[in-house]
Structure 1
Amino acid sequence: MAQFPDQSFEQAARDRGLARIAGVDEVGRGPLCGPVTAAAVVLDPQHIPEGLNDSKKLSPARRADLASRIMASADWCVAHASVEEIDRLNILQASHLAMCRALAGLRLPPDHVLVDGNRVPRDLTLSAEAVVKGDARSVSIAAASILAKQARDALMVDLAQQYPGYGWERNAGYPTKDHLQALLDLGVTPVHRRSFRPVHNILYQDKSVSA
């Protein structure tokens, strides 16, 4: 029997007197290019869209429909950490930076934050707890995962038009076979993450050959 996210974590926090609960999630840790994107969502407990789930388990059409309903009924914010920040900080710290930016962009600060993953961002000063596989367990985190994926996928489609040939409109920048081949054939773009091994190796190889 399929398991869907519920309000267990949100209700436990409300039982402790924490009324305004935010879920936060990121997408884009694995791709070779583009920013890492996070979303923070505070759902209205009386108007939670039906069918919320981990964004990876939803069809594009279903995800788009849920995203529009979340944005219409919840307090939400999407934020990014840039390629330069990823290369400077590392992908985990950049992901946490994007999460903190998304939370800071909410209309009102939350009383408590449910963070997808196994650790809370070290710079987060709000009351918070980490929820492993939270996008499959908490409706708030599931909602955040949907908005983050919608936003990043749309951004990668835009970047695909600026840098054609890498298939980002299909692979969202992940290291698929066609993306890796395009890296070899077309080279590294300004939006590739130079700290990621496949990109770094190509750059290093080019320098070795030219030397």
Structure 2
Amino acid sequence: MFTGIIEAVGRIVKCEEEGSNVHFTISSEMAGELKIDQSVSHNGVCLTVTSQQDTSYTVTAIKETLEKSNLGRLNIGDLINLERAMQYGARLDGHLVQGHVDQVATCKQIREEDGSWVFTFIYKGSKQNITVEKGSITVNGVSLTVVGSKDGEFSVAIIPYTYEHTNFKHLSVGDTVNLEFDVIGKYVQRLMSGYL
């Protein structure tokens, strides 16, 4: 489990294909603190550390993960949001995030608003994946509040701190991002679908 509060931004330094898997080596300031077998969120995708050095570490993404997320589109030099698994007993500053990407979305619009930014994303709508006004959403692993919700579209407001300390400042219109919809909302939607 994660909180959606990004700890660091890493840089992809190596992508190595092995069958249908891809091994990503990531350079990060927190690499020296990681351990083999540790879970780390990468743009919202929970991956296991398979090797670790002082300034970089390696994780493996399987075919399903590459197809369901934006990880399959990453190249050497790309920046990626990182978060270690939450510690039980610590504060939950974001919201409950599983690290299981539901689907991808495309950035439709970026609007600067006097010191903050509003990002609008479009996604293939479904009955299972919905957003609600003032509800939680995870975009590339970042816990955010929905400020505009429509069928297959939503917006989030990004404060300067989040903009500077995540890969949001490198997003452009047309870029693909990972979405994890609110886990509580997904359970409510599943329970209610039998009554609707």
* TM-score (normalised: structure 1): 0.25
The structure richer in helix per residue is 1
Compare CA radii of gyration and give the structure with the larger one.
1
